[in-house]
Amino acid sequence: MTQNMESKISVEVDMSVNGAQKHTCRFPQWMTFLVRMVLTISLFTTYAGITDISYASGSNVPTPSEKNNQKKTVYLSFDDGPGLHTQEVLDILRKEEVPATFFVLGEQAQRNPELIRAIVEDGHALGNHTFNHNYKELYSDFKEFWKQIKQTEEVIHGITGLRPNLVRAPGGTYGHFDQSYFDLLKQGGYTVMDWNVDSGDSKRKGVPASEILRNATKVPAGTSSVIVLMHDGGAHAETVKALPEIIRYYQDQNYQFDTIKASDQPVQFRVKSDGAYASRKAPGKAWIAEHVEPNSALWLAGKELKVEIGMAAATLHSGEFRIEEQQIMVPLRSFMKKFGSNARWDAETRTATVVWKDRTIYASSISGELTSGRLGQAGETVKGKVRSQGGTTWVPLRDLLEQMGLSIQSMKSNKLEWTVKANVPVAAISRGNLTIYV
């Protein structure tokens, strides 16, 4: 190591006692090299561990696309809520640190908007389960099914600002969907998801927890991606009782837990050719052109947003972020949770507060200001950028990254995703009386 290089790495030891002068100690070359190596490893491990951070017999069900064939993944899903037991389910999932997907009914979402917000704030995924679950209405005419999907979509959007394009048919698609249902929903930008493991908690009244546990852990041979069907409505207290053991089973079997995403390969039952609704007429071309064809534009052609901060990365899927006035807007709480931080909400001041590393970030929905301070020091204020909708605080991604003390290295876009890369700042790191400068 040259003298010039050595001069750039100094170690200050506070030797002051009763007002004595502070001294700066220079260490030999081998020690400065060792300090630099330790610092590099520390920075790497700090940022490297965070990552991205929703029936029928005789059906041949595929499984979701797998990022790694060696991994086993389980997707816990809950239908028909939010209801009486949704909060209990959320409490268990939070305790176990497990994500899930909630396929919600529009009429239930209207009755329980606070539970919809809680689902999103806890980092779970939302799916569309139609508005009223009425088989006769939904499966006699595709136009009615479409109407209920759009109705529920608007309810969810009004509460959270999100538009989930993940759909689950009440009762599943087998015997209910013909090919036109599948084709038109896909054309409209939706992904239809069935399941491959049924907990059986809705087969009859009073299904005991022991039976639910047994059914929910019956994994078909050779299946490494499991979608478990459960319910969180008023008649499913036994599902709540079984849930901790269901989670424990999959943990013991070395499954990783994830939310269902619209970008996953669809898990769908085959079309039953002699189904009760086989003689249905499909909508006409004019109706399709007016309602279905332009609908997919709502999800930005299915693009995802990938944000990289040093060695850490997080992905926001279609519907989890917005484009407003040529700015990428992200939900503050769920975005920061992906990077290991939680937001606190003060209802009186209508301000969200996030602590990230050595910074505190404040987002006021009253003033529209995004403010940050470092270790109690005053920071910068960005005015007029914060949006609040249905309890969700939205902020511009660029402004948020800057308030986190990061600098944007690049922003790129292709047909599949936007990618934003931010640099991790290098600064002095203190350990008691030892300060290391890089």
On whether both 328 and 393 belong to a single domain, the answer is yes
Residue 34: inside a domain? no
Per-residue pLDDT at 378: 60
On whether both 182 and 272 belong to a single domain, the answer is yes
Is pLDDT at 35 greater than 80 in this prediction?
no
Per-residue pLDDT at 392: 80
Residues 6+ apart with CB under 8 A from 322: 161, 328, 329, 394
Least-confidence region, from 63-77, 261-275, 343-357, 419-433: 419-433
pLDDT average, residue stretch 114-141: 94
Give the model confidence (pLDDT) of 395-418 as tens digits.
999 899 988 988 888 888 777 788
At 353, is the pLDDT very low, low, confident or very high (cuts 50, 70, 90)? Answer: very high
**Residue 357: which CATH number?**
3.30.457.10
On whether both 374 and 399 belong to a single domain, the answer is yes
Is pLDDT at 140 greater than 60 in this prediction?
yes
Domains contained in the chain, number: 2
For residues 19 and 72, the model is more confident at: 72
On whether both 291 and 314 belong to a single domain, the answer is no
Q: How many helices and strands (H and E) does the chain possess?
A: 13, 25
**Residue 257: which CATH number?**
3.20.20.370
On whether both 320 and 248 belong to a single domain, the answer is no
Is 141 one of the catalytic residues? no
Residue 260: inside a domain? yes
Least-confidence region, from 64-73, 262-271, 322-331: 64-73
On whether both 148 and 234 belong to a single domain, the answer is yes
Residue 231 and residue 356: Cα distance in Å, rounded?
36
- Which DSSP helix (H) or strand (E) runs through 107? helix 106-111
Which of the following is catalytic: 129, 133, 231, 236? 231
Last-in-domain residue among 300, 323, 343: 300
pLDDT average, residue stretch 91-95: 97
On whether both 254 and 317 belong to a single domain, the answer is no
Least-confidence region, from 18-32, 296-310, 318-332: 18-32
Residue 404 and residue 422: Cα distance in Å, rounded?
10
Residue 5: inside a domain? no
Gyration radius of the chain over CA positions = 26
Per-residue pLDDT at 376: 60
Last-in-domain residue among 248, 279, 300: 300
Residue 52: inside a domain? no
On whether both 275 and 421 belong to a single domain, the answer is no
Is pLDDT at 349 greater than 60 in this prediction?
yes
Q: Which domain holds residue 407?
A: 304-431
Is 231 one of the catalytic residues? yes
Last-in-domain residue among 300, 321, 352: 300
pLDDT average, residue stretch 336-345: 88
On whether both 270 and 362 belong to a single domain, the answer is no
Residue 384: inside a domain? yes
* Residue pointed to by tokens 């990022």: 67
Q: Of the candidates 415, 422, 411, which has an alpha carbon nearest to the alpha carbon of residue 328? A: 411
Per-residue pLDDT at 375: 64
On whether both 115 and 181 belong to a single domain, the answer is yes
* Residue pointed to by tokens 């001294």: 23
On whether both 224 and 344 belong to a single domain, the answer is no
On whether both 197 and 338 belong to a single domain, the answer is no
Per-residue pLDDT at 232: 96
Q: Is 61 helix (H, G, I), strand (E, B) or coil?
A: coil
